[in-house]
Amino acid sequence: MFGAFRRYFSTDLAIDLGTANTLIFVRDKGIVLDEPSVVAIRHEGGPQGKKTIQAVGHEAKAMLGKVPGNIEAIRPMKDGVIADFTITEQMLKQFIKMVHPRSVLRPSPRIIICVPCGSTQVERRAIRESALGAGASEVYLIEEPMAAAIGAGLPVSEASGSMVVDIGGGTTEVGVISLGGMVYKGSVRVGGDKFDEAIISYIRRNYGMLIGEPTAESIKKNIGSAFPGSEVKEMEVKGRNLSEGVPRSFTISSNEILEALTDPLNNIVSAVKNALEQTPPELGADIAERGMMLTGGGALLRDLDRLLAEETGLPVLVAEDPLTCVVRGCGIALESMERLGSIFTSE
């Protein structure tokens, strides 16, 4: 009886705990939270003193690179997994509180949370324990390629091959799925963050200028490109001249950003080719006919679909609203737990 009472009043949640953003899906409501995975910490009494949460999400991200000495804006997730356990737990607790205020009549929620398919048992246990510490009553894990495929509307339960390439902030996940299981799964720790780092490094090396992460992200979104021959775009960028130590502006082109992104893009292409080489022939034939599906924020990089189509000779589709595919897939799994129980993973 209590179980039925609990299910009626509690709000079950599906969470995409990403390196760049955290999204939360609530049963029967859809996506209710989309915030950057950033926390601003206030240090009281020096670096070894008491730490308190100053802000999370959008408010904390706005502070990146602009905070005074006693406040630190950090991203507690790195490469798709937890880099700072305590801060991640506190961040999750704040996000869950935003969408699930606790009361006597609202017990702790059940939570489905996605994990990179290349994460270790230790990393998965850390994610599970951070969710429990943040107030979950039960925690289920689902691997990101499976969640992305479900969210993109691929027929994961059918006896045919579906291929998904999910490019997040910290990792690129490649999965080949048939009959509700993953026939192949691969993960490389290359994603949107590595794109930003490559842009920062290129500008430092070629212009002698230092820019921050937010500026690199803006360059990537505005003039970033993955394939030559596209329309050439230019953008004025402000940064600090390393030799003079003063702010300066300069203009950079999309062709230069293409050059800057060569290495991370090659890593993604290699991961996709590796998946195709290891896919059984019958499922490979299905993928050749149906194509592969791109999801995640990285799928929005201009002409990435063209690059992968050129390199593999296969059709490449970009999912509708690729940024939310993983959390939508988690949400569908949440609402169909009895039917899709086999897709969840243990530690």
Q: Is 18 annotated as a binding residue?
A: no
* Extents of the domains making up the chain: 2-34+79-145+326-345, 38-74, 162-190+263-323, 192-261
Q: Is 198 annotated as a binding residue?
A: no
CATH for 192-261?
A: 3.90.640.10
Structure-token pair, residue 262: 């060569």
What are the tens digits of pLDDT across the range 56-107? Answer: 999 999 888 777 778 888 899 998 888 998 899 999 999 988 888 765 446 7
Q: Is 20 annotated as a binding residue?
A: yes
Q: Is 230 annotated as a binding residue?
A: no
| pLDDT confidence tier of residue 6, bands split at 50, 70 and 90 | very low
DSSP state of 150: H
Say which CATH class 2-34+79-145+326-345 falls into.
alpha beta
Cα–chain-centroid distance for residue 18?
4
Same fold, 162-190+263-323 and 192-261: no
What are the tens digits of pLDDT across the range 17-39? Answer: 999 999 999 988 999 999 999 99
Q: Is 169 annotated as a binding residue?
A: yes
Q: Is 201 annotated as a binding residue?
A: no
Q: Is 185 annotated as a binding residue?
A: no
| Amino acid 278: pLDDT | 96
Q: Is 21 annotated as a binding residue?
A: yes
Does 3.40.190.10 match the CATH number of domain 162-190+263-323? no
Distance between CA atoms of 25 and 13, rounded to whole angstroms? 6
Say what the pTM is: 0.90
| Amino acid 340: pLDDT | 66
| Amino acid 337: pLDDT | 74
Which residues make Cβ contacts (< 8 Å) with residue 171, sequence separation at least 6? 19, 79, 80, 116, 118, 144, 187, 188, 189, 190, 191
Q: Is 299 annotated as a binding residue?
A: yes
Average pLDDT of every residue of the chain: 90
Q: Is 45 annotated as a binding residue?
A: no
